[in-house]
Structures are given as structure tokens and as C-alpha cells.
Amino acid sequence: MIETDKFDYDVLEKRIKQESDRKTFAKVFDNQSINAVHSLANKGLFDVLEHIVSTGKEAHVFAATDVSGNTRAVKIFKKETTDFKRMNEYIVDDRRFQNLRKDRRNLVFAWAKKEYKNLLLANRANLSVPVPLGIKENVIVMEFISENNKPAKQLKETKSTKKELETYLEQIIDFMAKLYLAGLVHADLSEYNILVQKKKLVIIDFAQAVLLNHPKAREFFERDVTNIANFFSKKGIKISFEELYAKIKAHKNEL
Ligand SMILES: Nc1ncnc2c1ncn2[C@@H]1O[C@H](COP(=O)(O)OP(=O)(O)O)[C@@H](O)[C@H]1O
Ligand SMILES: [Mg+2]
């Protein structure tokens, strides 16, 4: 249930800069979410939510700043639109989430924690992902990926030369091989979840990423390969599923 009547409006005003964003927040989130935001802010991870960067089906992403003016991304997962079936499919058999009480609230908290843990794992493997900074319940704080003081664009939205695309493809092959070696499959890899920052790709959106022992890890990996092969082929860098798969495998064996 969304409990807008119980909102702590002082906290809402203190932590969310824009009036219109406060209204959106109150419409989409419950009081517990603003408390989680407040608690992360009290830890010094950020001070105010500056503006909404993205309103997705599953989560809203805000740009935030801390007291020193550093930018942060704050991703808040929605409880209302929880897709139980989908989340379960990606969390099942994950040894990190055994004995999870599967009510809506707990599943969303686990989903956020899954993204956080996956980001930590990828970050420790030196992969190009936003650095995870903190988590409380359904709220994650991470590094803000930006270019010229604006949120970095998704690969899908960027205009790139053939040469740039070729280097992007190489970066993705390197990423996929290294992520695999680190024990993860992204499972939602596409031009939407890849940001471009000064010609360098940063991979985001790790909630659905699974460990290699997940029953569908192979299927998800192959789907990721298909998405990437399709995107680059559409952009004029023709590559088939088989070719890309072989390149990732060969690269993995070299590492
Ligand atoms: N760390 C970040 N830095 C900058 N922008 C981000 C960051 N995380 C997410 N975004 C922006 O928000 C959008 C949605 O985030 P994402 O994690 O993909 O969630 P979802 O697709 O589940 O809504 C991204 O496509 C990107 O534009
Ligand atoms: Mg996404």
C-alpha cells in the first residue's frame, strides 16, 4: 500500500529539491522509501535529490548531490509494480538469497540488494560499472555517470562513427568475458543499459544479473550476446551471434 497520508513532509522537502519531483515521489513511493532516502542522506552519502533522471517501470533514478557538491545516482525501486514472477525467476537458486520471505516488500528489498551486490562484485573485478556506495531497503546510492554535467547518454541514443562503434564493441566483448570470469551474467544487457561517458562505456542496471550456477545463466548469456550482435549489426558493424559468442569465448581464454 502507498501511504501518502503518512508522509513526513518535512523530510520530503528537505531531501527533494524540486516541488514537481516531490509530488512524483509521493505518488509513486511510500513513507518507508522516503525514510530510507533520509537515512542514506544522514549517513552523508548524499544531501538532496536534485532531479529525476529516469522514471522506469521498476525504479526511479534521481541525480543527487552531497554536501561537497559531488554527484550521485539514487535508484529507488518501486514496491507497487513488483513483477513477482519475473523477480522470482532471477532470484531462484541464488545462494545469496536463500530463505527469502517472498512477500512484496521483501522481494523488492532483495531485488535492490541483488543489484547492489552485483555492482560490488563487478566493481571489485575492475569492470566499468557505477561504483556502489550504499543501500537501505529499496534504495541504492551509486556513482553518477555523467558527461558535461548531464547524465551520460545510453548507447542507444548516441551518434557514433564506425570507428567508435568498433571500439565500443571491443569494450563490450572485454566486459562480457570479464563479468563471466567474475561469476556473473548480466541478463539484461542491451544498448539501453550501457552508458557512454567520454567514449568509454559504463554498464548499468544489474538487478537481474545472475550467478553462473543459475539454471538459466546460459540462456540469459546467449540472450545478452544476441542483443549486442543485433544492435551492432543494425549500426553497420555486421556480426552474427556465433561470431560474437566466439570472440567473447576466445577473449575469455586469453585473460
Ligand atoms: N549511475 C547512473 N548514472 C547516471 N545515470 C544513470 C545511472 N543509473 C541509471 N541511470 C539512468 O537511469 C536509467 C534507468 O536506470 P536503470 O538502472 O537502467 O533502471 P531501469 O531500466 O530498471 O529503470 C538509465 O538508462 C540511465 O539513463
Ligand atoms: Mg535499464
CATH of the domain at 200: 1.10.510.10
pLDDT of 105 reads 85
Q: One of 30, 47, 188, 224 is an active-site residue; which one?
A: 188
How is residue 19 written as a grid cell?
Answer: 516541488
Structural domain ending residue among the three candidates 87, 115, 144: 144
Average pLDDT over residues 136-161: 97
Q: Return d(Cα 106, Cα 110) in angstroms, integer.
A: 6
* Residue with CA at minimum distance from ligand 1 atom 18: 205
Is the domain of 117 the same as that of 180?
Answer: no
Q: Which atom of ligand 1 is nearest to the CA of 205?
A: 17
158 lines ligand 1 (CB under 6 A): no
Question: CATH number for the domain including 86?
Answer: 3.30.200.20
Q: What per-residue confidence (pLDDT) applies to 1? A: 47
Burial 115-145 (b: 16+ CB within 10 A, else e): bbbbbebbbeeebbbbebbbbbbbbbbbbbb
Average pLDDT over every residue of 81-102: 80
- In this predicted model, what pLDDT tens digit does every residue of 156-188 receive, in sequence order? 999 999 999 999 999 999 999 999 999 999 999
Decide if pLDDT at 7 tops 90. Answer: no
Looking at the chain, the whole-number percentage of residues with pLDDT higher than 90 is: 84
Domain count of the fold of the chain:
2
Q: Three-class SS of residue 183?
A: coil
pLDDT at 6: 63
Query: What value does the mean pLDDT take over residues 208-232?
Result: 97
Beta bridge partners of 52: 62
- Give 90 or 251, the one with higher predicted confidence: 251
Residues in the chain: 255
- Our answer to whether residue 224 is catalytic in this structure is no
- Indicate the average pLDDT of the chain: 94
Looking at the fold, whether 110 and 163 belong to one and the same domain comes out as no
- Output the CA 193–ligand 2 centroid distance in Å: 5
Give the residue ranges of DSSP H helices in 134-216: 162-181
DSSP class of 188: S
Which residues span the domain enclosing 135? 4-144
Listed residue (212, 207, 204, 208) closest to 181, CA to CA: 212
pLDDT band at 82 (very low <50, low <70, confident <90, very high): low
Assess whether pLDDT exceeds 90 at residue 235.
yes
Which pLDDT belongs to residue 5?
53
Atom 10, ligand 1: residue with shortest CA distance: 61
* Shared-domain flag, residues 8 and 50: yes
Q: pTM of the entire structure?
A: 0.95
Q: What is the pLDDT of residue 184?
A: 98
- Confirm or reject: Cβ of 187 under 6 Å from ligand 1: no
